[in-house]
Structures are given as C-alpha cells and as structure tokens.
Amino acid sequence: MINGPHPESSEGLLYAFALDGKGGAVLLDWAGVRNHGRATGPLWIHLDRKHAAAQAWLREESGLEPLICDALLTEETRPRAQHFDAGALVILRGVNLNPGSEPDEMISVRMWVDNDRVITLRSPRLLAIRDVREDLENGRGPKTPGGVVIGITAHLGARMAPVLANLAEHLDGFEVELIDSSEVTDIRRDLVSLRRQAITLRRYMGPQRDAIGHFSSTPTSWLSDRERARMRELGDRVTRDLEDLEAMRDRAAVVQEEVANRIAEQMNRSMYMLSIITAVFLPLGLLTGLLGINVGGMPGVENRWAFAVVCVILLGLGGAAFALLRRWRLL
C-alpha cells in the first residue's frame, strides 16, 4: 500500500516512493527524496524529463555522471541497456495510448537503476508507469529497484498486446473481405497505414529485445537470479511480438499485392470490353463515315428505301463481326 498524499507533479517530480520491500511504498516529495537515507530502503524517483527542476536535480544532486545524465535527458533515443560500475542505464519504449495519439508513436522511458534506487524519466504520460504505481497502491508492487524495471517492462509488454491484437484483427478483416467478395473495395490506404504501424513498431521492438536481453544477461548485485530469469522471460515475449509484427507485415504485403492484382484484373476486363465494342463498331463507323461525305454521286440519294437498306447492311455487318468474335473465342 502507498502511504501519503498523491500529488501529480511538484516541480518536475511526478512522484517518488520509498519501497517497503513488501509490495507497498511510502510516497515522498522533493524534501523526502533529499532527506531519504539509503539505509532505510530503496527509492523509486519518477521525473518529468522536460521540467527544468527535474533536470537540475538530475545533474546537480543525483550523483550521476554527466554522460549518464545526458543519455537520460537526450531528445532522440532508441531502446538500449548499458551497464556501468555503479548501475545500469536502460531505455525502453512503450505504445502511446494517450487520447489523440497513434499507438506507433512510441514513448520512451529512461531508467537508471542501482542497488539503492531507480530513477525513471518520461515526457508524455506512459500508462505502463501508472500501472506499476497502481500495483504499489494495491500492495503487490515491486520490492526492489530491479523489480521496478521489471514491472515497467512487463506492463510495457501488456500494453503492447492489445495493439498487436487490433492490428491482426484489421488484417484478418481485409483477408476475409478479399475471400468473400469478387469486387475489390479500395482498402489500399488502410493497408498502407497498417503496414506503416507494423514497421514503426518493429523498428523499436527489435532494439528493445536486445536491450532486455543485455540487461538480463549481465550479472549484477542488484538483480537477483529470479529477477534475471523474469527479465529473460519478458525478452522472449518481445521476441514473440516481433515475430507477430513480421508476420503481419508479410501478410499485409500479400493482401496489398492481391488487391493490386484484383484492381489490375478489373481494369484489364474493362479495357477488354472496350476493345470488343471497338472491334464491333469499327467497320460500322467506317461505312457510315464513308456515306456521310458531301460529294456528288452518292448512291441512294434519290431512293426512298436507301436509308433502310443501309441500316440492314449495318446490322448485318455488326452481326457478322459479333459472330466472328464468338467463333474466335474472344467473347
């Protein structure tokens, strides 16, 4: 359980917890963070990366090397894990489930973890962080700094699962539509959007798998064998997600190719019908054009039955052309 008030943000400090080692925590403010003794239990400090006060504390009071601070505060970053003598730098990405955002606009969470604390930073709101906080509120949260990293990683994967399921469901719908309908609706834009999302997610999930694997494979004093095994399991889950994304990307490419083939087939059929119509009416047009010239000596000008005779001739020519096309199996 969490004891204390629940301020949402106080000068860059989103929240800080003193873990009690039993799945609960005590909520701290800036003063509590500064006065907290390391012998009294590990800390989880969660900061707003873009707030000046959080940046100042990280550079001036956290005790971290400037190189580590730069990595935690940089704008552009990819998932990775790097071990240092004092701890480890871990950067992961999670799907953006904030209103008005696309899931593939993945949000980074930057973490520093050592024996006594874990420092996390984010800019947009990340629901996986909130999930870990709710676990602490319910008394079943992480008990160690390494457990905080594992909890965040696990919830990042849990939040990813519905997004992948939604992509797979849309792709299934496209495939069913192609199978059940002989006519092709223009779903190319939706397919392009789906492929873009799959490619963007895969772009970050590949390095994320490697980061989790590196984090779990390096022996450290602040990560137990059980926690290391749990982290490897989460890495396997990311690998499965990557395989699903690759499969969806390939399936989307096949569907898009089939849509293009269907559209090309419809266009070829339309062009074929136009060619048939042209073949039937070409001799008729030639004859009527010849009879339409304004020169002397035109036959049948004085004959009242000439028009009827010409119409019969035209019908005969049209019927003959149609019969020839049928005989040549062009119709």
90 closest CA partner among 21, 146, 159:
146
Q: What is the helix, strand, coil percentage profile of the chain, to 5?
A: 60, 15, 30
Q: Residue 279 falls within a domain, yes or no?
A: no
According to the model, what pLDDT value does residue 8 have? Answer: 46
Chain segment 102-145, per-residue pLDDT in tens:
777 888 999 999 988 999 998 888 899 999 999 998 989 999 99
Task: Indicate whether 307 belongs to any domain.
Answer: no
Mind listing the pLDDT tens digit for each residue in 294-321?
666 667 667 777 778 778 887 887 787 7
Domain count, the chain: 1
pLDDT on residue 265: 81
Quick check: is 274 in a domain?
Answer: no
Please report whether residue 201 resides in a domain: yes
Residue ranges making up the domain that contains 210: 2-261
239 part of a folded domain: yes
CATH number, position 146: 3.30.460.20
Is there a domain that residue 267 lies in? no
Question: Are the C-beta atoms of 73 and 137 separated by less than 8 Å?
Answer: no
pLDDT of residue 184: 59
In a domain, 315, yes or no: no
pLDDT digits (tens, 9 = 90+) for 47-95: 999 999 999 999 999 889 999 999 999 988 889 999 988 899 999 999 8
pLDDT for 296 equals 66
Flag whether 175 is in a domain.
Answer: yes
Triad 26, 31, 35: Cα angle to 5°: 80
Sign of CA dihedral 251, 256, 262, 265: negative
